Amino acid sequence: MADKTYENVKIEREGEITFLILNRPEKRNAMSPGLHYDMEDALLFLNDDPQTKVVIITGAGDSWCAGQDLKLYFRETANNPAERKRSNTASHHWRHDILTRFSKPTIAMVNGFCFGGAFTQLCSCDFAIAAEDAIFGLSEVNWGIIPGGIVSWNLTDMLLPRHAMYYAATGESFDGKRAVEIGLVNFAVPKDELKAKTLELANKLLKLNPNVLRFTKEGVRAVRHMRADDAREYLGAKQDSLQKADKEIADRVGMKKFLDEKSYRPGLGPYQRPQS
Ligand code: COA
């Protein structure tokens, strides 16, 4: 079946890896209401798409995403509260609700500019790899607005408080290498290696048991703001449900290989799944 097509978003595939591309390069992939509706629909589609095992979110052209579209998202909805509410709901839905609960791993492949509201989907992706020369910035102060939606929450959740305050308050931009130093992305690589390195990570994830991966990322996210006692309860119950969800886990294949067959040492290399 042919993929769905959108005005502001593109789907491209490399086997089980799916690229979801913000596609308004002439506006540096700024997020218009239309882009929010397209992303919401495309992510819901890919979440249930059996061929997709990993999603990579990137931007067409030289920009990853220049933040909310100041004209279409802010100015043109200023006197249209119904449209503002509808686009604001879609904006939060895909950038936070859908992405943080996505059933498959997601990677932000930051190919260029990343500003303002774009920090929300950046932080919601499970992993992030940036071009060394990508430019990041919380430019809200320049427009007389604060890093709103949940951008300020994303900053304090992801960065040390000193870094969050500095970049939010000054609006100073920084590059991909600095983004690694402050904990915003996992790796920064030369731009001409960005796609290859991102695919390398995606292929590594494809080799893992998808249920272990999903339960792990759900667990890591869920315990973030819990008390230790609650986290212990939650993770115990979570492990029980993983056990029930996956026969390979229930059979403790990895442990048998280590303890009985002595054919596997996790410290020396990743677990190879049995071939089906
Ligand atoms: N909202 C609306 N339009 C935007 C935009 C945004 N956030 N970011 C870029 N654009 C538009 C520009 O208005 C321009 O449109 P035009 O061709 O109709 O004039 C087009 O995209 C290209 O932008 P331009 O500034 O010429 O490209 P550049 O490559 O020289 O610079 C940026 C790119 C991203 C550095 C620059 O556009 C910029 O600073 N944008 C604002 C980013 C921002 O502050 N985002 C947070 C919003 S809260």
CATH code at position 48 = 3.90.226.10
Judge if the beta carbon of residue 66 lies within 6 A of ligand 1.
yes
Count CB-CB contacts under 10 A for residue 1.
5
Q: How far is the CA of 102 from the centre of ligand 1 (A)?
A: 29
Judge if the beta carbon of residue 91 lies within 6 A of ligand 1.
no
Judge if the beta carbon of residue 67 lies within 6 A of ligand 1.
yes
Judge if the beta carbon of residue 174 lies within 6 A of ligand 1.
no
Q: How far is the CA of 139 from the centre of ligand 1 (A)?
A: 11
Same domain, 35 and 137: yes
Same domain, 226 and 171: no
Ligand 1 atom closest to the CA of 69, numbered from 1: 1
Same domain, 99 and 181: yes
Per the domain annotation, does 158 fall within a domain?
yes
Q: How far is the CA of 137 from the centre of ligand 1 (A)?
A: 12
Nearest-CA residue for atom 33 of ligand 1: 28
Same domain, 198 and 233: no
Domain end (from 176, 206, 236): 206
Per the domain annotation, does 3 fall within a domain?
no
Same domain, 171 and 238: no
Q: How far is the CA of 66 from the centre of ligand 1 (A)?
A: 6
Per the domain annotation, does 276 fall within a domain?
no
Same domain, 72 and 138: yes
Judge if the beta carbon of residue 173 lies within 6 A of ligand 1.
no
CA pseudo-torsion sign 176, 179, 183, 184: negative
pLDDT in tens, 79-101: 999 999 999 999 999 999 999 99
pLDDT at 1: 63
Ligand 1 atom closest to the CA of 139, numbered from 1: 44
Same domain, 198 and 236: no
Nearest-CA residue for atom 28 of ligand 1: 28
Per the domain annotation, does 273 fall within a domain?
no
Residue range(s) defining the domain that contains residue 239: 210-259
Same domain, 178 and 237: no
Pairing of strands 174-175, 135-137: antiparallel
Q: Hey, which residues does 65 pair with through a beta bridge?
A: 114
Same domain, 51 and 173: yes
pLDDT at 269: 75
Nearest-CA residue for atom 4 of ligand 1: 27
Tell me how many degrees the CA angle 240-244-250 measures, rounded to the nearest 5: 95
Same domain, 16 and 83: yes
CB–CB of 67/31 below 8 Å?
yes
Domain end (from 173, 189, 206): 206
Per the domain annotation, does 202 fall within a domain?
yes
Residue for token pair 């939650």: 234
Count of domains forming the chain = 2
Nearest-CA residue for atom 23 of ligand 1: 27
Per the domain annotation, does 270 fall within a domain?
no
Per the domain annotation, does 266 fall within a domain?
no
Domain end (from 189, 206, 223): 206
Per the domain annotation, does 82 fall within a domain?
yes
Q: Of the candidates 45, 143, 32, 43, which has an alpha carbon nearest to the alpha carbon of residue 91?
A: 32
Q: How far is the CA of 256 from the centre of ligand 1 (A)?
A: 56
Same domain, 202 and 217: no
Which residues lie below 8 Å from residue 50, measured CB to CB, with a gap of 6+? none
Q: Report residue 195: phi and psi, to 5°.
A: -65, -45
Tokens of 232: 């212990």
Same domain, 93 and 169: yes
pLDDT in tens, 151-173: 999 999 999 999 999 999 999 99
How is the beta sheet containing 106-110 ordered, strand by strand? 9-14, 17-22, 54-59, 106-110, 127-131, 187-189
Nearest-CA residue for atom 41 of ligand 1: 66
Q: How far is the CA of 27 from the centre of ligand 1 (A)?
A: 6
Stretches in the chain below the pLDDT threshold 50: none
The CA dihedral of 185, 190, 194, 196, to the nearest 10 degrees, is -130
